[in-house]
Structure 1
Amino acid sequence: MFFSREAHNKNGDFMIQALLNLMASLCHTHYFVYDPMYRGLFLSDSLLKEFHLSSRENGWNGWMNITYPQDQASLQNFIHLLTHQKHASLNIHCYSRSGKIIPLTFQAQTIQFQKQTCIAGIIISSFSRHIDPISGLRDAFHCENICNEYIDKPEIDQFLLGILDLDNFQSFNDTLGYTAGNQLLRRTTGFLQSVLPEKAKLFRLENDQFAVLCTNCSSSTLQGWVNVLNQLFIANEMPTISCGFVSYPKDGQEWHRLRKRAQFAMKQAKRDGKAKSRSFSLPLEIQQHQSEQLRVSLRQSIHNQMQGFYLMYQPQLTKDGRMKGMEALLRWNQEPCDTFVPILEASGLLFEITGWLFNQALRDFAVMRKEDSSLSISINLSYPQLLEDHITEIIHAVLCRYQVPSTALIIEITETRIAENFLIVKPILNKLRAMGIRIAMDDFGTGYASLSFLRQMPIDIIKIDRSFVINLETHPADSMFIRLITDIGKELGCAICLEGIETAGQLARLSDISIDTIQGYYFSRPLVRDAMLEYLHQQKDR
C-alpha cells in the first residue's frame, strides 16, 4: 500500500487502483490512499464517477475545487491533521457531477511501514449509505437522484420508470418467516438482474418492491421483461411479480409524480389478476381520485350521525298485483347506490352502518306491518357484513326491539359472494335460518352457482337477476332460462322472485311461469316510508 519512486509506475498504479475498486464493490464505500511525500492520491472508481475528479489529482487540489466554499478551510485543516496525528475525520459538502451538494464523511488513518508514511481512508457519501443490505441494490434515495439526473439531462428526452411488487409476499413472510422472506428477495434480485434490459438500472425501494429505470427501451420491452420474469418465477416455484410503469415526460415531469403514478399502475396490475404489467392510465387515476373523494364524503356522513343516508322500499307483489313484501334499499343524497355502495364495501365503511341499517329498516317496517301483518321485508347484507362479529345477535336485538317476528325478515346476499365463500358463509346462514330468518340468493344468474351448489346451500328464495328481463319481449331464450330456474328452484323447495319487470309485455311473458313474487318499476318504483304507507293503504282498498 506504500508508495516509493519505484512504485510510481503503471503496474503499481494499476494494482492500487484495482485493490481500491475491489474494496469499494464489496463494501459499497468509497476508498482513497494518499502518499504525502509524493502527493499521490488514488481514488476508487466509484468516487471518480460520482465527482469531477481524475485518478491522479495533484494532491488534494481536486477536492478543493469541488468542495463547498464554506467547507474548504475544514478540508485544509483535515489534510494538515493527517500529517500530525494517526486518526482524523471530517464532515463536509461537495458538488457531485450533476451539480448537487452531497454531504461527505472522511475517515482516515496514518500508517507507517519501514519509515514510509501512507494515509488510507474511506469516504462515506449520502449515496454510499443508501445501499440495501439484503439485495445489495441501490435504494429509493439513489433511484430518486438518478431519475432527477435523467430529467435534468437535455440529451435524455424520454425514459421509463417501472415499479415491481412481489405477489402475495406478505403471505409468504407470514407462513415461512422473515429469514425465508429475505432469501426470496435475494433470489428475486438475481432473476431481475439476469434478464435486465440493456442500460436499465435496478433498485430496491422498500419491502418487496423494486424499481427499474430504463432510458433505451419501449413499453413493450418492459412488458416482455416482466413476462419473462414471471415465467422464470413460476418455473422456480417462486411468487410472481406485478409491474406498473410510467413514461417521462408523458406521465409526469418530476420524481414524486412519476413514482406515484407507477405505483398506481402497479396496483392496477394486481387488481387485474397479478403477474401482469400495466402502463399508467390517466382516466383510471381520475376515477380513483373521484372514488377517494367519495370515500371521504361517505366517512364524514357516517360519522355525522348518518347525515344524508336514508332508506327506500320497493314493493314485491304477485303477478296479479297482490302485495307480499318489500325490499329495503340504502340511498345517499350525494350519489346513486351503484356508485357509493361498492366504495362503502371496499373501504370497510359498511361495518359502521350495519346497526343503523337494521334499526331504521325494522323500525319503519314495524309501522308498515300494522297495515298487513303478512308482509315481509328483505334487507341486503354484503359478505363483509355477514362476517361481522355478533351479526346474528345484532339482528336478533333489533327484531326484539320493534317486535318484528323473525319469519318476516329476509336476508339477501349475492350469488357470487355465496359461491366464492361457500364454506365460510354456510354456517352463518344456517344460524340465521335457525332463528326463523329466510335467506335469499340475490342476482342469481350473474355468477357461477351450479345445481349441486344450489342443493347444498341453505337458501329459501332465488332472486333471478334483472338482466334476464330486459330483453324478455324480444328474446325467447330469456323466458326459457327463467322457466328452467323456476322449475329447479321449486324442486329444491325455493320460492322465486323476479327483479326488473318494467312493462306489461314483460309481465305477459311470465303468465305460464310459476313466479312467486315480482319486483320492478311496472308495479312501483322504490318509495320513502310515508309514500310506502300510502301505497299499502291503496293496496287495502283494492
Structure 2
Amino acid sequence: MEDLEKNNREKILKSSNEVKKAKNILKMSYITGNDNFDEIYDALEQISEDYIFIGNMKTMVFKYPAPFIKRVGFPTEIMQNPFTYWKNIIVESDWKKFQESTLNVLKGESKYQNIEFRVKDVKGNITWLRKKSVVIRDEFGSTVTIVGNISFLGKQNKIDPITGLMKITEFFKNFNKKLEKEYIENIGMMIIGVDDFEQINQLYSRQIGDKVLKNLANVIQYNIPDDIPLYKLDGDNFGLILENVDKDEVRDIYSKIKDSLGKIHFLNEENVAINISAGCAIFPKNGITYQELYKFAVYSLLYCKKTGKNKLVFFSEEVIENKVKHFEILYFLKQSIDNNFENFEVFYQPQISTKTKKLKGFEALLRWKCEKYGNVSPVEFIPLLEETGLISLVGNWVLEQSLKTFKSWLEKYPDLKISVNLSCVQLINKNCIPDFKKILEENEFPRENIFFEITESTTVSNIKTLKEIYEEIKALGVNIALDDFGTGYSSFGILKEIPVDMVKIDRSFVKDILNSSFDVTFIKFITEICHNYGIKICIEGVERKEELDLLEGLNVDYIQGYYFGKPEPEKVISEKYLK
C-alpha cells in the first residue's frame, strides 16, 4: 500500500507542477494564517494553465477562480461547503465516484485525488473535467489545506471540440476497461451515424454541419441513461458502450433517439432534416477485442445505410457477405468506367399521354451488368457510385448517350421528350452545370425536348440551397421534372420555391389507389394545384388497366409504368415504338 501511495503521489505531482508550487505558496495564505492571500492566489493563477482551487479543511471555505465559476455557474468565487453546487452540475451517474473520491480526501483516508467526470456548464453542454488535488498537513499531522487544479479535458485533446464529447481514443480505452470486469456478460458497441451528412456540409457549410453534430450530441445524451457515456467517433459517427444489455434494450435506446429527432427542428435558420442509422456488434458473440467489435459495428452501420437507412442493424453473417460483395461490386464498377463504360447501358421506358394514349416521350434509365454478379439493380450500384463520387462521370455519360440516341428519334418524332435522371450528388458537384452545358452544346440537342429529373425526397430538406442550382439548370433552357413526389419531407413547400415543369408522383401512391381514398384525394389535390401553376403531372408505376381508368378521371397528364412498357434497350424501343 505504501508503494502504491508513493507511485500515485509521484504521478500526480509530476503531472502538475502547479500543485507543488501551490503547496509552498499556500503555507503563507490566509487559509493557513497569512494575510496576503489574494496576492499569492493571483500569482498562483498566473503560473497555471488550469483552474486552481484551494480549501480550508477546518472551516470548509473554498476559493475557485472567476473564469471557472462563470463557466460552470457557481454563485461566487469563495464559498463554504461547495459540494451542493458540485452536485447540481455533475452528471448524475458520475456523482457517486466524485463524492467517494472527495470524501476520502476530506477524511484523510487519501492524500491525493485524480478523477475525471462530466458536468453541465451554464449553456447546458456536457463536458469532461479532470480534478487533481493534494492535502497539506501541519507539523502535527492534521489536515489544514487542500489545493488542486481543475482542467477541461478538451485542452488535452481528449475531447471533441465541436460536441464536447470524449474522442474515439477514450471510447476504445473505456471499452477495454469494461472487458476486464469479471461480472460482464456482454457488451454492446453501438455506432450511430447521420444519414447523408456529407450533403449537409456541401449544401450548407461546414459550420452548419458542425452545429448539426453538436445539437445531435445533445439529443442523444438527453435520450440515453446517465450511466451510458456518449463518445464522438470519426466523421459524423457517435459511439455508445452498452453493458449487459439484450437486443431489445439496444433497440429501445435507438428508437427513443430516433423518435426524438422527429419532434425537433435542428436549425431555426435552415430546414435541415436529420435521420440516423446505427450498427451494433456485441461482445463476446461477435468478437472478443474492441478492434473486432468496432470493425463489425461499422460494417453493420454501412450495411444499414446501404439497405434503406434510418434504422438499426445488428452484426450478422449477412453483413459480412454484403461487405465482401460491396468491395467486389465497387471494383467491377471502377473497371467498367475505366474501360470506356463497358457493361453500362441506357434503357428507355415510354411515357404516354393520358388523354390520347399516344407516346409522349421516354425516361432514360441506367443499367449495369457485373462480370461476377450479372445484372445488378440500380438500387444497389447507384449508391456506390454516389459514395465514391463516380456518379458525376457516369451521369454525364448517361446524358450524352441519351441525347445521341434520342437525336435520331427526333428526326421522325420531333415532339418526343427525353427525361434524364440527375443524382443529388451530381448537383452539388461544382462542375455539374458547366458539364451539362458542354454536353448540350456538343450534341446540338433541342433543349425544350429535355427534362432533367431530380428526386424530391433527396432535395427537399435542402431546398434553400438547391433552389439556386435549379435556377442555373433552368437557365440552360431545359425542363425540370420533380421525381418521386410525395416521398420527402416538405413536398408542398417545394412547389412554391422551385421552378419545375413537371411533377412525377411516386408509385407508392398508385399501388393501393383502387382501395385508398387518401391516395385518390392526394393525387387529385396535387394535380389541381400543379395545373393552376402550369405544372404537368406524370404518374409513375401504373401496372393495371383499372389503375389507368381511375387516373384518367383525375385529369393527370402523363402515365408511366409496366402497363404501357418496361424499360428496354435502344434497339428494342426503336422496333417496338418508333417504326
1:447-462 to 2 correspondence within 5 Å? 447-462=488-503
Per-residue CA deviation, residues 153-178 of structure 1 (Å, 9 max, x unaligned), is xx77844263678989x99xx769x9
Find the partner of 1:361 among 381, 388, 402: 402
Query: What is the CA–CA distance in structure 1 between the aligned matches of 2:576 and 2:503, rounded to whole Å?
Result: 25
Structure 1 gap ranges (5+): 1-12, 30-131, 179-190, 231-236
Contact 2:300 2:319 in 1 (8 A): no
Structure 2 gap ranges (5+): 17-155, 160-165, 211-221, 259-265, 267-275, 370-374
- Cα drift, residue 329 of structure 1: 0.6
Provide the residue aligned with 2:293 in structure 1.
Answer: 258
Query: What is the CA–CA distance in structure 1 between the aligned matches of 2:480 and 2:531, rounded to whole Å?
Result: 15
Distance 1:243 1:28, change over 3 A: farther
Contact 1:439 1:458 in 2 (8 A): yes
Provide the residue aligned with 1:118 in structure 2.
Answer: none
Query: What is the CA–CA distance in structure 1 between the aligned matches of 2:410 and 2:277, rounded to whole Å?
Result: 54
Query: What is the CA–CA distance in structure 2 between the aligned matches of 1:444 and 1:373, rounded to whole Å?
Result: 28
1:85-484 to 2 correspondence within 5 Å? 134=158, 158-160=185-187, 162=189, 246-264=281-299, 280-319=315-354, 320-333=356-369, 334-484=375-525
Contact 1:159 1:213 in 2 (8 A): no
Per-residue CA deviation, residues 239-274 of structure 1 (Å, 9 max, x unaligned), is xx9986533321124553223124445778999999
Query: What is the CA–CA distance in structure 2 between the aligned matches of 1:306 and 1:288, rounded to whole Å?
Result: 24
Distance 1:382 1:202, change over 3 A: closer
Distance 1:536 1:371, change over 3 A: farther
- Cα drift, residue 372 of structure 1: 0.8
Query: What is the CA–CA distance in structure 2 between the aligned matches of 1:159 and 1:491, rounded to whole Å?
Result: 61
Contact 2:303 2:322 in 1 (8 A): no
Distance 1:313 1:212, change over 3 A: closer
Contact 1:204 1:211 in 2 (8 A): yes
Provide the residue aligned with 2:9 in structure 1.
Answer: 22
Q: Per the alignment, in what secondary structure is the counterpart of residue 463 of structure 1?
A: strand
Per-residue CA deviation, residues 342-370 of structure 1 (Å, 9 max, x unaligned), is 33223322022122111111010111111
1:521 aligns with 2:562: yes
1:525-540 to 2 correspondence within 5 Å? 525-538=566-579
Query: What is the CA–CA distance in structure 2 between the aligned matches of 1:425 and 1:21, rounded to whole Å?
Result: 59
Q: Per the alignment, in what secondary structure is the counterpart of residue 510 of structure 1?
A: helix
Per-residue CA deviation, residues 314-351 of structure 1 (Å, 9 max, x unaligned), is 11121332121111111112302222223322332202
Structure 1-normalised TM-score? 0.60
- Cα drift, residue 281 of structure 1: 4.9
Q: Per the alignment, in what secondary structure is the counterpart of residue 396 of structure 1?
A: helix
Query: What is the CA–CA distance in structure 2 between the aligned matches of 1:270 and 1:25, rounded to whole Å?
Result: 46
- Cα drift, residue 294 of structure 1: 2.5
Equivalences, count: 403
Which residue identity does 2:482 align to in structure 1?
M
- Farther off after superposition, 241-250 or 503-512: 241-250
Aligned CA-pair RMSD: 5.1
1:35-54 to 2 correspondence within 5 Å? none
Per-residue CA deviation, residues 46-87 of structure 1 (Å, 9 max, x unaligned), is xxxxxxxxxxxxxxxxxxxxxxxxxxxxxxxxxxxxxxxxxx
Higher-Rg structure is 1
Query: What is the CA–CA distance in structure 1 between the aligned matches of 2:535 and 2:231, rounded to whole Å?
Result: 58
- Cα drift, residue 302 of structure 1: 1.7
- Farther off after superposition, 388-397 or 432-441: 388-397
Identity level (%): 29
Structure 2-normalised TM-score? 0.56
- Cα drift, residue 408 of structure 1: 0.8
- Cα drift, residue 383 of structure 1: 1.1
Contact 1:380 1:412 in 2 (8 A): yes
Distance 1:226 1:22, change over 3 A: farther
Q: Per the alignment, in what secondary structure is the counterpart of residue 418 of structure 2?
A: strand
Distance 1:534 1:505, change over 3 A: same
Q: Per the alignment, in what secondary structure is the counterpart of residue 343 of structure 1?
A: helix
Contact 1:160 1:245 in 2 (8 A): no
Which residue identity does 2:283 align to in structure 1?
Y
